[in-house]
Structure 1
């Protein structure tokens, strides 16, 4: 079993509440728009960190982290891509990417809207954790926590971090 905290759209912001929610997991996935790569150093050190860049990330971030990341955990094929649209209206080329990579889970950010939906057409779980940062139009800062066991996502929950701007 692998415990995961899924975050996105930090826009250079990290606080103790986020760090606390990421302290009891095996992996932290950041789905882009880091804002300042230095904030990643505040995350727990004893976890696997999987990070992609988003549209606001600078060249320093892009030299370290990719725009797309694909990996498998317990037989589950996962892809991280910052801008993906949402089912059934994906961004250009995303449906083809899901099919080409054989993704069973597509993780994205960008919209600042927390959404989890199974796309039965592509047989792929779409996951967007919303935004943990203070910048954007979202009202409530959110992240997702879940476990992967036996090739399945289980015990999925949305963690609300409070209102943006507080």
Structure 2
């Protein structure tokens, strides 16, 4: 079984609770609005990282971060994009089984046809009354099980 950690909208704040949740992941996907290179470096100390640039990632460090990413982990094709409104591909036609996004700060896991759309929510500064959250995908052969997790933070 493989475990893919999902995190988004850290906005420069990588909480210890999020780091603890991501321990043991085989791969981590960051859905954008990262906030700093340090966030990516800290995540890379846990597992390989794929990240996409969010609308707030405008500093020079973010120039190397792509707007979208097609990722293969354990035979699973994922597509990462910060804002679903910018999605310009047909995921099913591209063989993508999971679309990972961020931007809304709202955790969501929803099947649309044969494609799972998942937003881990925001793991960074709290926005309004939305939860601080992360997510994971558990891969067992061809089975993909998503799990959204609200973090208890101090």
Give SS of 1:101's match: coil
CA contact (8 A) 1:11 1:133 kept: yes
Aligned position for 2:83:
83
Cα distance, 1:39 vs structure 2: 2.2
Q: Unmatched 5+ residue regions in structure 1?
A: 85-90
**TM-score, normalising length from structure 1?**
0.82
Q: 1:111 to 1:29 in 2, by over 3 A?
A: same
Q: In structure 2, what is the Cα distance between the partners aligned to 1:145 and 1:96?
A: 23
Determine if the alignment matches structure 1 residue 104 to structure 2 residue 97.
yes
Q: In structure 2, what is the Cα distance between the partners aligned to 1:51 and 1:112?
A: 16
Q: 1:130 to 1:46 in 2, by over 3 A?
A: closer
**TM-score, normalising length from structure 2?**
0.88
Aligned position for 2:45:
45
Deviations 1:74-109 (A, max 9, x none): 33221000000xxxxxx25x2634255332111100
Q: Unmatched 5+ residue regions in structure 2?
A: none
Q: 1:74 to 1:41 in 2, by over 3 A?
A: closer
Q: For the aligned residues, what is the CA RMSD?
A: 2.0
CA contact (8 A) 1:30 1:52 kept: yes
Q: Give 1 or 2: higher strand fraction.
A: 1
Aligned position for 2:116:
125
Aligned position for 1:30:
30
